[in-house]
Amino acid sequence: MANLPLGKVREMKEKLGLKLFNKAYFGTQADDEKKEQLKRRAIEEKKQEHRGQHRPKEISSRKPVSVFRSVYQEVKKKKRDPRFDNRAGEFKERCFEDNYSFLNELRRQEREELSKQAAECDEQGDTEMAKKIREAIRRMDDRERTKAEQKLKEETYKELRQENIERMMRGERPVFKTKAKVRLMQMEKKFDQLKKNNKLDNYMKRKAKKEARKEAKRKPAFDQKYGYQE
């Protein structure tokens, strides 16, 4: 058919029609190419389905980006508390205690108010509420004792540092005490304060009761281990 004159080719085209003529003249090559193109498109669409939902959106480079489209995703604003941010400066506990020392008086007043409420609950027969209030008072007392012990520890180390500074100013070598000796100094200071406030006897009684409870818990296990029986 490729060797036919142009006139014969035109006549054959008019008789067969465009579709049959193309098939007869060009063969099945065009159909094969079309089928291959459809096959590739189906494979590509299948690949698109298997990709993650968070994949970047594909946009043709020939299509201009809309002005209403968000090109850059907005970064979620992270909330921060300036009290605990490093940019707000270093936390100094001593300065904090000095600046907010008025809270100690408010806590004392709150404790007195809770004690009155506990007494009123006892009078009204509400033992459950009185128990809860006394538990809150106990937690407040524990916090105050912890703060007092921490303050006593800081004062002890401050005195030791001052003593070493005075020694070095006199040309003497500084003396560094062990942790056991520092704890002993703290206990001496604590006993002096308790004695000054007439609370030493109550403290020693509480300490003795606490040790007795510990000993009572240890004794059954000790007797069972070594076979002692009363």
What is the model's pLDDT at position 201?
83
| Distance separating alpha carbons of residues 57 and 70, to the nearest angstrom | 12
pTM, rounded to two decimals: 0.49
What is the model's pLDDT at position 162?
93
Q: What is the pLDDT along the chain (230 residues), one digit of tens a residue?
A: 555 666 676 776 676 676 666 666 665 555 666 777 888 887 777 766 666 667 777 777 776 766 666 656 677 788 888 777 777 778 787 788 888 889 889 999 999 999 999 999 988 888 899 999 999 999 999 998 888 888 888 888 999 999 999 999 999 998 888 888 888 888 888 888 888 888 878 878 888 888 888 888 776 655 555 555 54
| Distance separating alpha carbons of residues 187 and 207, to the nearest angstrom | 13
List helix spans (H) across 60-178. 93-99, 102-124, 127-169
What is the model's pLDDT at position 36?
78
| Distance separating alpha carbons of residues 112 and 32, to the nearest angstrom | 96
